[in-house]
Amino acid sequence: MFTGIVTDMGEVLALEQRGDLRARIGTGYDVAGIDIGASIACDGVCLTVIALGREPRNWFDVEISAESVAKTNIGAWTPGKRLNLERALKVGDELGGHIVSGHVDGVAEVVGLRPEGDSLRVTFRAPEALARFIAPKGSVALNGTSLTVNEVEGRDFGINFIPHTRQVTTWGEVALGQQINLEVDTMARYVARLREFG
């Protein structure tokens, strides 16, 4: 489990297809404190660490199944791409965002960018099947970042990014047309499911 509070910006160092896709990700984390088998959310996708190293900088390797590539934006990763990283939640950690599983539901598209004071209002278009789970003032995880929805109109929803968020995550690089990993709020999913039987 994760909180959607990004704690490092990593970088894709290498990609290799070996049956599954293997990625090497550069990190600011101290790899001495990461165990083989640990879970790290990479742009919101929960991935398992299979190797670690320190040269030429701290890095960890992950294997990514074809299913994960198909359901996320990982197919567009290239060396040099920066990623939002978060280590798994530990008992006693502060829950600053919302409960995030790291199981991406689908891919949203950036369809609008508008400055609002020092902030940036970004409009996303959700896949049809996921739009019903997104509500004003509800939570979503986008590329692994816990965010509050400002408004919803059909499949489109808006998020306000304050300067701090854009500085400490990859949201400072957001552009029109980008494909973004979307995980809807677990509570919204259960409420919608219960209504089907109500």
What would the pLDDT profile of 96-116 be if each residue is shown by its tens digit? 778 899 999 999 999 999 999
Does some domain include residue 27?
A: yes
The CATH number covering residue 40 comes to 2.40.30.20
Closest CA to 43 of 4, 17, 80, 70: 4
Average pLDDT over residues 106-128: 97
Distance CA 110, CA 176 (A): 5
Backbone Cα Rg of the chain: 17
> Which whole number is the average pLDDT over 123-136?
95
Half-sphere exposure in the Cβ direction for 197 (13 Å, CA): 4
Residue ranges making up the domain that contains 142: 106-196
Give the H or E element holding residue 143: none
pLDDT for position 187: 75
- Examine the domain organization and report whether 83 and 159 are in the same domain: no
Q: Which of 79-83, 159-163, 190-194 has the lowest mean pLDDT?
A: 190-194
Please check whether residues 112 and 83 belong to one and the same domain: no
Q: What is the mean pLDDT of the chain?
A: 94
Mean pLDDT across the stretch 41-67? Answer: 96
Q: Are residues 83 and 110 in the same domain?
A: no
| Domain final position from 30, 55, 87 | 87
Q: Does one domain contain both 75 and 17?
A: yes
Q: Is residue 95 one of the residues assigned to a domain?
A: no
Domain boundary pick from 26, 58, 87? 87
Residue 193, pLDDT score: 67
In a domain, 154, yes or no: yes
Total domains in the chain come to 2
pLDDT at res. 198: 62
Give the residue from 24, 58, 87 where a domain finishes.
87
Q: Which band of pLDDT confidence, cut at 50, 70 and 90, is reported for residue 163?
A: very high
- Reported as a single tens digit per residue, the pLDDT across 34-51 is 999 999 999 999 999 999
